[in-house]
Amino acid sequence: MTENEKQKLGRPKQIFSLDRRQKLLHPGKSLYRVLLDSVTLSDESVKFQIIHEKNKILLQVEIYEIEGNIFRLKIDEASPLRPRYKVPDVLIKEPTTQRLFISHREAGILVLSSVNEDYKLQITANPFQVELQSKGETVMSMNSNGLLYFEHLQSPPSDRKPTAQNEEAASDSSKEKQEDLGLWQEKFGSFLDIKAHGPTSVGVDFSLHGYDHVYGIPQRTETLLLKNTSDGDAYRLYNLDIFGHKIHDKIGIYGSVPLLLAHKPSRTSGIFWLNSSETLVDISTKAVAEVRVIQIAKQRAVPLTDVRWMSESGIIDVFLLMGPTAFDIFKQFAQLTGTQALPPLFSLGYHQCRWNYEDEQDVKAVDAGFDAHDIPYDVIWLDIEHTDGKRYFTWDKQKFQNPRKMQEHLKKKKRKLVVIVDPHIKVDPSYTLYAQAKEKGYFVKDRNGKDFEGICWPGSSCYLDFTNPEVRKWYADQFAFKTYKASTNILFVWNDMNEPSVFKEAELTMQKDAVHYNNWEHREVHNLYGFYQQMATAEGLIRRSSGKERPFVLARSFFAGSQKYGAVWTGDNTAEWSYLQISIPMLLTINMTGISFCGADVGGFIGDPEPELLVRWYQAGAYQPFFRGHSNMESKRREPWLFGEKNTQLIRRAIRERYVLLPYLYTLFYRAHAAAEPVMRALWIEFPGEVETFDVENEYMLGNALLVHPVTEKEAKTVTVLFPGSEEVRMYMNYSTVQPKEVLYIPVFQRGGTVIPLKTTAGKSTEWMIDISYELHVALDKEACAIGELYVDDGHSFQYLHKKQFLYRKFTFHKNVLSSR
């Protein structure tokens, strides 16, 4: 089955009833008010109840201050019919809280102050509203537009007396038919979604004062700067397998991180909406009048951005990250969800992939081709065709007769192998993995309690329930060398199709009414499915080495916290210039939401790139965190030496530059791991006061030292580079041998005041480069000074963590002296 055939099996996107229901609630005075006599304070939190003036149902509000300038607001039903879903496993621990105290109380207003009194929370009772202030300035407010929305759990209509099925949503809906609102069931073409617990949607609005630049909430093929949604669709967070995804579309694709950042010259703030169900985000930026008294009254327009979050189910659990800098936001988010795992060094080299390398001879021929053309590479990949009939953890006995010997051959060449392991399991009683999982009850169920069966690459398939910790442990055990036959310690893993992708279902994904561990419906956990598979896979690779070796796992689907388990990529892109262009803001967005280890398929997965596009993509990919060439089985072969000697030279040079740069790149990954600093950074992050950088997405900083401007236009002879800031910017001198007439490389500049460590030359792979010497490139600032760092460890084990076996140097150039400590 081809990808094109696969696409024809599913339906186009669903009509979102949660959006229609919540949009019936218009901005205005909120119907919720605070019951001030219910306020209680403890060392951990402030709690109180709010009541809806019409339906009289109570909600419980909890407010926490967390160490490090973070506030958490939780809203749940005070007495739900049954517990509502609260996202587990994403937070690395229960956050450490600080005591809030009441600093002011008057009729209808309660002011909570933080310990250091830098922050105040003003709670207005009627209507319910929360305003967060920093040193007297309002930074953000919640429910100021009155859009708090909470659908209460109800008994099914057959179990209760006839009443309005959803008073909040339906009260203004005389023109809307009840079934159109999708309260208890919804139809998408021939697909039926039965909502066993009825409507459970939640939502609320936030106003960001003084901000008109907002970013984040990946993943989609969209600009860096988030757009107003007032005239169209909301941004959607719902992990989907979308082949050849459209550019400039707000629909979600493979991954979701519900983190939004807002920036202005004086402050960066963040909102982390912890909810794993389908989520929509509406954004509206406008100017509001502010009166200032300076001798005479003056009025000026101040930007205000309203952000409305709407989720299908769960509770409201939101973290307000107060910065005040972008780097503070990154640390705050990592404090909650973890930092980027430190990858093994080989995984920062170049990866060669195709759907599919045919057999052992093909693998050896491609491997030999890199040596014959003097092009470094570290990893060759095998897609689904390497298995026995799409049965994962197996080998095709005709094409791969001796996979262990093949791996030994690669190991002697100091290279690695990555194989694909997808979440769907072929329905075949003779397939050990299926038989064991079936017997143990480890598959997701349908709404009738039977194993959910869907169509995927093997045909009829069942889907492992990775939300179950017992399933994750069992799955991790499958990677043991004795269980995964013919696997060796150079074999690493690629988790694809884990949105999860299900052919012949609505939107090519699992039915929302499928049932997971602890009887939670799929609608509750959808965006966590790939996160959990990558977690289990990473654990399996660690466990097979008795905890000694770092794993490498690439996953297509992700959520907040996926950075702890490995790398992600942007999915099934197309071999067109526009996809090269959009890959930059896509990767910058993923980086600013915690996942530094990300990349886009070099050359485009779908179609056949013209040689110029392929060369430009290699040049761009060489300066991005994850560097992999990949193509579809329907594409022509495109190993780097197949496009003529001139293009081979250019691709060779790009890949060799990557290998020379590895000491700097590995040091950046250590900083991402230790201090939550993104590897690839939008310009505004490094130059927060420079307004002209706020919407720049065609160039970026790699770490704090290198300014990279990929060439993304066909037949471009020149590019216009923005040099922000007042620092002296110097060209990265490794290119000093380039003749002035050279127009076929991309501009990379070194920032004045920095020192970057490099290798003096590239080797055949990262392991070949251990004994190659280092050099330092020093670019001086206006005071003729510079600083930089180098991190070195063994590149593969956890000894850096357990035994503190690493080298970490700081270089300083001052008064014409270079020193190291």
User: What is the per-residue pLDDT across 725-746, written as a single tens digit (0 to 9) for each?
Assistant: 876 666 554 443 333 444 468 9
Instruction: Give domain status of residue 782, yes or no.
Output: no
Q: Please count the CA atoms within 13 angstroms of the CA of 817 that sit on its side-chain side.
A: 3
Name the residue with higher pLDDT: 494 or 155.
494
- In Å, how far from its chain's centre is CA 69? 23
212, 499, 505, 513: the active-site residue:
499
Q: Which long-range contacts (CB under 8 A, 24 or more apart) does 192-197 make?
A: 193/506, 193/511, 193/512, 193/513, 194/447, 194/513, 195/513, 196/156, 196/447, 196/513, 196/521, 197/82, 197/153, 197/154, 197/521
Q: Are strands 567-569 and 553-555 parallel, antiparallel or unpaired?
A: parallel
CATH code, 175: 2.60.40.1760
- Give the pLDDT confidence score for residue 230 in this predicted structure: 84
Please confirm, yes or no, whether 505 is among the known catalytic residues.
Answer: no
Q: For 93-97, 102-106, 159-163, which range has the lowest pLDDT when averaged over its residues? A: 159-163
- The answer to whether residue 129 scores a pLDDT higher than 50 is yes
What confidence category does residue 179 fall into, taking pLDDT thresholds of 50, 70 and 90? Answer: low
- The answer to whether residue 187 scores a pLDDT higher than 80 is yes
- Give the pLDDT confidence score for residue 780 in this predicted structure: 93
What confidence category does residue 158 fall into, taking pLDDT thresholds of 50, 70 and 90? Answer: confident
Residue 186, CA distances (Å) to 24, 166, 195, 550 in order: 18, 15, 8, 45
Q: Which helix (H) or strand (E) holds 653?
A: helix 645-675
Entry pTM? 0.95
- Residue 605 is which amino acid? F
Please confirm, yes or no, whether 249 is among the known catalytic residues.
Answer: no
572, 639, 686, 767: the active-site residue:
572
pLDDT tens figures, 257-277: 999 999 999 999 999 999 999
What confidence category does residue 181 fall into, taking pLDDT thresholds of 50, 70 and 90? Answer: confident
549/797 Cα distance (integer angstroms): 4
- The answer to whether residue 289 scores a pLDDT higher than 80 is no
Residue 343, CA distances (Å) to 401, 458, 551 in order: 31, 31, 7
Instruction: Give domain status of residue 333, yes or no.
Output: yes
Name the residue with higher pLDDT: 9 or 472.
472
423/418 Cα distance (integer angstroms): 16
Report yes or no: 559 and 257 within 8 Å, Cβ to Cβ. yes
- Give the pLDDT confidence score for residue 280 in this predicted structure: 96
Tell me the mean pLDDT in the region 575-579: 98
70/93 Cα distance (integer angstroms): 15
- Give the pLDDT confidence score for residue 18 in this predicted structure: 72
Length of the chain: 821
SS (H, E, C) 572-620: CCECCHHHHHHHHHHHHHHHHCCCCCEECCECCCECCCCHHHHHHHHHH
Q: Please count the CA atoms within 13 angstroms of the CA of 212 that sit on its side-chain side.
A: 9
Q: For 173-187, 652-666, 697-711, which range has the lowest pLDDT when averaged over its residues? A: 173-187
- The answer to whether residue 773 scores a pLDDT higher than 60 is yes
Ramachandran sector of residue 382 (left: φ over 0; alpha: ψ -120 to 50; beta: rest): beta
pLDDT tens figures, 512-530: 999 999 999 999 999 999 9
Count of domains observed in the chain: 1
Instruction: Give domain status of residue 201, yes or no.
Output: yes
Instruction: Give domain status of residue 226, yes or no.
Output: yes
Q: Which residues pair with 748 in a beta bridge?
A: 708
What confidence category does residue 115 fall into, taking pLDDT thresholds of 50, 70 and 90? Answer: confident
| Mean pLDDT value across the chain | 92
Name the residue with higher pLDDT: 103 or 17.
103
What confidence category does residue 232 fall into, taking pLDDT thresholds of 50, 70 and 90? Answer: confident
pLDDT tens figures, 44-74: 999 999 999 999 999 999 999 999 999 999 9
Report yes or no: 464 and 443 within 8 Å, Cβ to Cβ. yes
Share of the chain above pLDDT 70, in %: 92
The three-state secondary structure class of 432 is helix
- The answer to whether residue 8 scores a pLDDT higher than 60 is no
What confidence category does residue 76 fall into, taking pLDDT thresholds of 50, 70 and 90? Answer: very high
- Give the pLDDT confidence score for residue 373 in this predicted structure: 98
- Give the pLDDT confidence score for residue 752 in this predicted structure: 93
Instruction: Give domain status of residue 144, yes or no.
Output: yes
- Give the pLDDT confidence score for residue 298 in this predicted structure: 60
Instruction: Give domain status of residue 135, yes or no.
Output: yes
pLDDT tens figures, 379-435: 999 999 999 999 999 999 999 999 999 999 999 999 999 999 999 999 999 999 999
- Give the pLDDT confidence score for residue 297 in this predicted structure: 53
65, 282, 312, 496: the active-site residue:
496
- Give the pLDDT confidence score for residue 159 in this predicted structure: 67
Report yes or no: 198 and 156 within 8 Å, Cβ to Cβ. yes
Q: For 14-23, 127-136, 269-278, which range has the lowest pLDDT when averaged over its residues? A: 14-23
pLDDT tens figures, 326-383: 999 999 999 999 999 999 999 999 999 999 999 999 999 999 999 999 999 999 999 9
Please confirm, yes or no, whether 513 is among the known catalytic residues.
Answer: no
SS (H, E, C) 498-513: CCCECECCHHHECCCC
- Give the pLDDT confidence score for residue 810 in this predicted structure: 98
Give residues with Cβ within 8 angstroms of 594, minimum separation 6.
Answer: 257, 259, 330, 333, 334, 337, 338, 339, 340, 560, 561, 563, 676
- Give the pLDDT confidence score for residue 730 in this predicted structure: 66
What confidence category does residue 161 fall into, taking pLDDT thresholds of 50, 70 and 90? Answer: low
Name the residue with higher pLDDT: 744 or 697.
697
State the residue for tokens 């550019």: 247
Tell me the mean pLDDT in the region 556-573: 98
- Give the pLDDT confidence score for residue 245 in this predicted structure: 85
- State the residue range of the domain holding 27: 17-156+160-337
Instruction: Give domain status of residue 483, yes or no.
Output: no
Residue 548, CA distances (Å) to 92, 477, 614, 800, 803 in order: 21, 16, 38, 11, 11
Q: Which helix (H) or strand (E) holds 657?
A: helix 645-675
Instruction: Give domain status of residue 275, yes or no.
Output: yes
Encoded tokens for 615: 């060369």
- Give the pLDDT confidence score for residue 214 in this predicted structure: 98
